[in-house]
Amino acid sequence: MKSRVVLAIGDPAGIGPEIVLRALGDARVRRALEPLVVGDAVALARHAEACALAARIEDGRLQVGDLPPVPLIETGSLGGQDWRIGDSTAVTGAACRAYALEAIARVRAGEARAAIAAPHTESSVNAAGYRFRGYPGLVAEATGTPEERVFLMLLSPAYRVVNVTLHEPLIEAVRRLTPELVANAIRAAHASLQALGLARPRIGVCGINPHAGEGGLMGHEDRAIVAPAVEVARAEGIDASGPWPADVLFAGRAYDACVAMYHDQGHIPVKVAAPHSASAITIGTPVPFGSVAHGSALDIAGRGRADASALINALLNVAGAG
């Protein structure tokens, strides 16, 4: 039986609507899943026209090409307001947030097993008056989950990476690191890998400093923060190891997942290895929620050049986990 998945269109000014339409036209996705789309018809129609995609919206149904139509849940978030493809504004930021929240609500109501969202634009959502550092925090807020237990996992053919901290200045991210936060990330990684079918996953944990501090020569944070977290995880029966120098850990590719301390430490290797196909899942929450590992690409939005591979992979990952 196919899994039903709610698909939010992301920032309507970015490439989200385009890659949603492309994903809905992919035969692999349609064989594996029953999509339920959340967004505004006007956004999908504008992108379909701008990108010369064969799409039709009628009576609450969205049809792409010759494939069967899928339900479209309109939130009315754009509401006749002025917005343009490629422009970051509070209007499109508020709409993007509303689509994601509606998708989460549908999963919580039992209408679907998971939610997948096309990319957001953080500056746009914040311009709308919301504190927003990415989808994981929004899922935590919507489900009443403590934010310190919610993390992002990047998925690619080469790596699975869990970020302890995410979209925040590096100096603030390092200040926020504690043994408990790192241990929570290891626990969430372990549970999520088991949900993906790995009975006893091996988890490698990055250090904070170059060379993982090199015994205190390059800082004491690794011994004071990361090492105790790894010890706690191992005492709980988790096969975790570290802290390792990040470059050594990623080069070795010996673990089922790596836990990275901050955004670029984890994102750079994933995006170098899989620049267009990496996807992401929010872990540690009661609602399965996925997205892509790239942004809304305002610079190419509406030009018909967006690559939907990452969104397609995110959808197929959900199907595989089901």
Looking at CATH, the fold of the domain delimited by 158-273 is given as Isopropylmalate Dehydrogenase (3.40.718)
N residues, the chain = 322
SS3 124: helix
Report the mean per-residue pLDDT for the chain.
Answer: 95
pLDDT, position 277: 84
pLDDT, position 322: 47
- Sequence-distant (6+) residues with CB within 8 A of 137 are 147, 150
With residue 320 as reference, give the H or E element that holds it: helix 309-321
| Distance of alpha carbon 38 from the chain centroid | 17
Q: Is 198 left (phi over 0), alpha (psi -120 to 50) or beta?
A: beta
- Sequence-distant (6+) residues with CB within 8 A of 318 are 3, 5, 33, 113, 114, 116, 288, 290
pLDDT in tens, 110-154: 999 999 999 999 999 999 999 998 999 999 999 999 999 999 999
Place domain 1-148+284-322 in its CATH homologous superfamily: Isopropylmalate Dehydrogenase (3.40.718.10)
With residue 268 as reference, give the H or E element that holds it: helix 263-273
Beta strands in the chain (DSSP E): 3-8, 33-39, 55-58, 61-64, 70-74, 114-117, 151-155, 160-163, 202-206, 239-244, 257-260, 279-283, 289-292
Say yes or no to pLDDT of 320 above 70: no
For the chain, the domains span 1-148+284-322, 158-273
pLDDT, position 196: 85
229 contacts 190 by C-beta, under 8 angstroms: no
pTM for the model stands at 0.89
Mean pLDDT of 205-229: 96
Say yes or no to pLDDT of 158 above 80: yes
pLDDT in tens, 191-207: 999 988 899 999 999 99
Residue matched to tokens 């015994």: 215
% of the chain exceeding 70 in pLDDT: 99
Say yes or no to pLDDT of 170 above 50: yes
Q: Is 22 left (phi over 0), alpha (psi -120 to 50) or beta?
A: alpha
In eight-state DSSP terms, residue 214 is: G
Mean pLDDT of 16-42: 97
SS3 80: coil
pLDDT, position 318: 79
Mean pLDDT of 33-55: 97
pLDDT in tens, 262-285: 999 999 999 999 888 889 999 999
pLDDT, position 321: 54
Interstrand relation of 279-283 and 151-155 (parallel, antiparallel or unpaired): antiparallel
% of the chain exceeding 90 in pLDDT: 92
Residue matched to tokens 């996953």: 201
Residue matched to tokens 């929010």: 282
More confident residue, 246 or 320: 246
124 contacts 90 by C-beta, under 8 angstroms: yes
- DSSP of 295-311: ---TTTTTTT----HHH
* Nearest partner of 31 among 3, 60, 61, judged by Cα: 3
78 contacts 95 by C-beta, under 8 angstroms: yes
Least confident of 179-183, 192-196, 315-319: 315-319
pLDDT, position 43: 97
Q: Is 52 left (phi over 0), alpha (psi -120 to 50) or beta?
A: left
What are the tokens at 205? 């944990």
